[in-house]
Amino acid sequence: WALDEFVEGRVRGFVGRTRITDELVELAASPATEGADWGACVTAEAGAGKSSLFGHLQRLLREREVLVLSHAAGISVRSTQVDLMLRRWVGELATALGEANSLGDTAPPDEIDRAFARLLGRASSQRRVVVLIDALNQFEPTTRATHLTWLPRLWPPNSRLVATAISGTAATALLQRPGVIDARLSPIDRDEALDIVSGICARYHRTLSPVVE
């Protein structure tokens, strides 16, 4: 519920970002061939619109025949915990596979990591799976979170990963993985800024003074 609320707030009035959106959607739908790129790290400074892009991508991909696993770190206290994110995904993957979630309440981190990797591999053998993560840099300050040691060593060929982050340790750790591209998010241009402001004005039945434009 918190994630859906977060996405709804970020995509309201979303405009622009056509080029990077097309690139990321193309990556998400790219053929499962050997040696193909499987991930992207969207980097930019705070306030550049990474979360809005994350929400926009989630909506676009959920309209396709893919299984989307999404998470936004920092939207609540619990959202910064890798264990809880993976437990939720393990449950969603088990449901998609039509089986019971066998992960116990007291399962240690390494068991959770293995369960996620195993189910991700099995689910992606049946359909395309896309993992979306917003704000890698806002996870708990542990080695597991900042260095992304929870990621499967061998990423399944029929799954894709798109994550956003401020440049730092987590982003560097992801970009060091072979097959992950650096998708830098450029600042919005003047036309996009005007479209955003116009959308806000329209929402509240106001007009923007030409002097301000």
pLDDT digits (tens, 9 = 90+) for 158-182: 999 999 999 999 999 999 999 999 9
pLDDT of residue 161: 97
Task: Retrieve residue 14's tokens.
Answer: 């979303």
Give the pairing type, strands 129-134 and 159-165: parallel
pLDDT category at 1 given cuts 50, 70, 90 is confident
pLDDT category at 74 given cuts 50, 70, 90 is confident
The partner residues of 183 in beta bridges, in order of sequence, read 42
Give the pairing type, strands 39-43 and 67-72: unpaired
pLDDT of residue 212: 61
Cα–Cα distance measured from residue 137 to residue 139, given in angstroms and rounded to the nearest whole number: 6
The residue whose two tokens read 């060091």 is: 176
The closest of 200, 144, 212 to 173, measured between CA atoms, is 144
Bigger pLDDT: 85 or 213? 85
Map residue 88 onto helix, strand or coil.
helix
pLDDT of residue 14: 65
Q: Is the pLDDT of residue 131 over 90?
A: yes
Q: Is the pLDDT of residue 59 over 90?
A: no
Cα–Cα distance measured from residue 62 to residue 117, given in angstroms and rounded to the nearest whole number: 22
| Mean pLDDT comparison of 28-37, 72-81, 83-92, highest-scoring range | 83-92
Mean pLDDT of 33-58: 86
Bigger pLDDT: 58 or 7? 58
Q: What is the overall mean pLDDT for the chain? A: 86
